[in-house]
Chain A
Amino acid sequence: MKQFIIIGNSAAGIACAEAIRQRDKESKIVVISDEDYPSYCRCLISYYLAGDVKEDKILYRPESFYKENNIELLLNKKVSRVDPKKNHIICEDKTQLSYDSLLIATGSTPKFPQMSGIKKRGVFGFRTIKDTKEIEGLLPVTKTACVLGGGLIGLKAAYALSKRKIEVKVIVKSKQVLSQMLDFEAASMLQKKLQENGIEIILGQDAAEVIGNGDIKAVKLDSGKAIGASLIIVGKGVEPNIDLIKDTEIKFNEGVIANNFLQTNIPNIYTAGDVCESFDMTQGKHTVNALWPVAIEQGKIAGCNIAGDNLNYDGSLAMNSIEFFGLPFISLGIYRTQAGDSSFEELKLMDPKINLYKKLILKDNVLIGAILVGDIKQSGIFLRLIRERIKVSSLKDRLLQENFGYPDIIDLIKEEKEKIYV
């Protein structure tokens, strides 16, 4: 009987386990997690902190899931090393487990910038439920907080704190928020919305030092200005957890490198999720796209292949969806081009009065990226156009219309899985 080990109990890990179980009822599956918590919806922790979601709704799969699917779950166990030659993993507590196939879905960890005071009590990353509960514990004695970083994590944390009536200031090094997801125009609309709702954004400045004896008192910026705060949340990006393979022959770059079957260079070792560096179909090169739906898709395909299938993974792409105070933002693929680069074509629609912004980026008449603000209902169609690399030359004057939709692309689609039109 085969034994499959999945390191990671979140999106990629669960998707993989389910995919294997669908095809293979016999083999043993062991899921190992270094967290002391059943599988939960990581993306919901900001909603949980905000008070929008109760703890019982944060589980990704019910506790019965493992038993029902005959999966052994090992919590609170960190894998320190993978040994590809011996086909076994070694945990921190010295236990060893053998595998026929392995999935590395160890996710990533928040990056903490180098600065004095960053290790003080009261400075948190915002990734785990543990982080969230610790932050929550401090809220009753917190009046002001600082969020370092204007990325998704940072802004979501800021929203949550603001909802809990904490005065929050977001320190952003770049000239805009969400520089990894939005262009300047869209980011400006978001900044306006956030500021209108009491979240202060400080742009173009970086934190230089955390000040305080014992408890935090303030954050000093590189400009010299000090912002009073007793709680700091760091949202300055994440780095894939690749320590466990660093000294092995498994190839890695920023993340663990995956081929188009989601295998590493070792055939029986697969990788998926935030730790995985896969081919990005819009960028044309390998990158890490640390996004929930990407992790699910990768985990699924990895699981199918572990169970014996030979599914090809077309590649990942950036796909983000958030909403703040009633204004939704969606960003797909390549959302910003270099000024003056004529190989890209941009189609834009902007109506600031109603907070409407749509930007589509095409290359060789194929959609490779989009930003949608306000009216996001067609984002699924745009995502499809990107993924299936559909030539949109005949659609250019339709793409930005309010009533653009599925019927416009119906003749351009090669084959439809679910057919409903007779």
Chain B
Amino acid sequence: MKQLYYDVKKCLGCKSCEITCSVAHSLTGELFKAINEEILSLPRKKVLSSQGKNYPVSCRHCKDPKCVDACMAAALVFDQAKGMVMHDETRCVGCWMCVMACPYGAVRPNIKAKIPVRCDKCKDKDEPACVKACPTGAIVWQEEILIEK
């Protein structure tokens, strides 16, 4: 199963991934139109910094997802076949338990849309939009690898 990995040495914190993610998940899918949609699409990943290094933070699709446990509406489910946490918007009530439960702070609430904002690996596209958008190639999309700390 392909996963998103981040080369922190290359991340410049330019946030191109964020803006592309917003556009990719907007209704129109085009930058100039997306910024004027009624409910603005929020980026599924956020680039945060610490000690001079930049880290894109987004859902890792944990094998034992805390958010799935916390969801009181059974809107979140771990799909074994796809290897990712799936979110069913029709069941979601915007209770924000998943936001509270995520140990990475990777889920944010979109209060206006009443939907948690979380990475879905751009499941309807060939590859996540952020991968191509990163000007330094810091975002890597590949089969799961084991990373030694």
Contacts and interface: CB of A to CB of B under 8 A. Distances in A.
A292 B97 contact: yes
Contacts of B102: 380
Contact residues of A: prevailing secondary structure: mixed
A47 B62 CA distance: 29
A57 B91 contact: yes
A300 B69 contact: yes
Contacts of B5: 420-422
A422 B95 contact: no
A416 interface: yes
B53 interface: yes
B133 interface: no
Given A321-B99, A377-B109, A61 B74 contact: yes
Contacts, number: 142
Contact of A57 (B62, B90, B95, B99): B90
Interface stretch (B24-32, B43-51, B123-131): B43-51
Contacts of A36: none
Contact of A405 (B53, B97, B105, B111): B105
B143 interface: no
Interface in B87-103: 90-91, 93-97, 99-103
Contacts of A60: 74
Nearest to A374: B111
Contacts of A405: 46, 48, 57, 105
Contacts of A274: none
Interface range on chain A (Cβ under 8 Å from partner) = 35 or more
Interface of A: 11, 15, 41-44, 47, 52-53, 57, 59-61, 292-293, 296-297, 300, 319, 321-323, 326, 328, 330, 332, 376-381, 383-384, 403, 405-408, 410-411, 415-422
Nearest to B98: A380
Contacts of B60: 418, 420
Interface string B1-45: 001111110000000000000000000000000000000000000
Contacts of A419: 146-147, 149
7 contacts: A11-B72, A293-B69, A326-B112, A380-B100, A406-B48, A420-B3, A422-B140
A403 B106 CA distance: 13
A381 B97 contact: no
B55 A410 contact: yes
B97 A293 contact: yes
Nearest to A42: B72
B57 A406 contact: yes
Nearest to B4: A420
Contacts of A326: 111-112
Contacts of B61: 418
Nearest to B114: A323
B95 A407 contact: no
A381 B74 contact: no
B57 A407 contact: yes
